[in-house]
Chain A
Amino acid sequence: EPEVTQTPSHQVTQMGQEVILRCVPISNHLYFYWYRQILGQKVEFLVSFYNNEISEKSEIFDDQFSVERPDGSNFTLKIRSTKLEDSAMYFCASSEGTGGDGNTIYFGEGSWLTVV
């Protein structure tokens, strides 16, 4: 079964460093997302991406964050200057977006980011 894949599975970074989290969405999907989950808390929406641009973003997704689809398969989340409170599990997700079963959103296994 097709799946969303994410790398790295775990990254430790120093405060102030830049981090890039990578995702390969399911190949025929058109909508891409990043969510995050701080340990023990809710899964929170960060950003959605469609047709090569951001379609919606949350208050969390400030100027420190950016997303990019550098080629036909990858979707990346960049955190420019990491803070301690950015430590979380970051989930990439994708969906066909065609209505009906196509609105099913599939999540990757997550990238666990630890900022020290």
Chain B
Amino acid sequence: GEDVEQSLFLSVREGDSSVINCTYTDSSSTYLYWYKQEPGAGLQLLTYIFSNMDMKQDQRLTVLLNKKDKHLSLRIADTQTGDSAIYFCAEMDSGGYQKVTFGTGTKLQVIP
């Protein structure tokens, strides 16, 4: 089945850029997503990218997709303490019913 992997932890200083990486195995992924989860809260959709795109920028967020290597990254520019959360990469397969497979999540800690 599909598998999505992420590093577990990332620590950055406030004002620096954060880069969260994700790898996936499903070569037929159609959409790839980034969700943010703050402690005890739900899953907030941050951004997504279609599999036929290489890059998408949305304010402080930049998503890069390397489809050949099945690698997705999320760059957060000018990281703020409010960005501290768990970030989940997720991919939608082409199975037709839009099931999404989540990664393990990366806990981002922003140091003031």
Q: Give the B-binding residues of A (Cβ under 8 A).
A: 31, 33, 35, 42-45, 48, 50, 55-56, 91, 95, 97, 100, 103-110
CB < 8 Å: which of B33, B42, B101 contacts A110?
Answer: B42
The interface stretch among B13-21, B61-69, B71-79, B102-110 is B102-110
CB < 8 Å: which of B95, B100, B103, B105 contacts A105?
Answer: B100
- Asked if B22 lies at the interface with its beta carbon under 8 angstroms from chain A, I say no
Q: Which residue of A lies closest to B100 (CB)?
A: A105
Interface size on B, residues (CB 8 A): 25
Decide if A105 touches B98 in the complex (CB within 8 Å). Answer: yes
B15 to chain A, nearest CB (A): 29
Residues of B with C-beta under 8 A to A56? 95, 97, 99
Q: Give the A-binding residues of B (Cβ under 8 A).
A: 30-31, 33, 35, 41-45, 48, 50, 88, 90, 92, 95-105
Query: 26 A-B Cβ contacts within 8 A?
Result: A33-B98, A33-B99, A35-B102, A42-B102, A42-B103, A42-B104, A42-B105, A43-B43, A43-B88, A43-B105, A45-B99, A45-B100, A55-B96, A56-B99, A95-B98, A103-B30, A103-B31, A105-B45, A105-B92, A105-B98, A107-B35, A107-B43, A107-B44, A107-B45, A108-B42, A110-B41
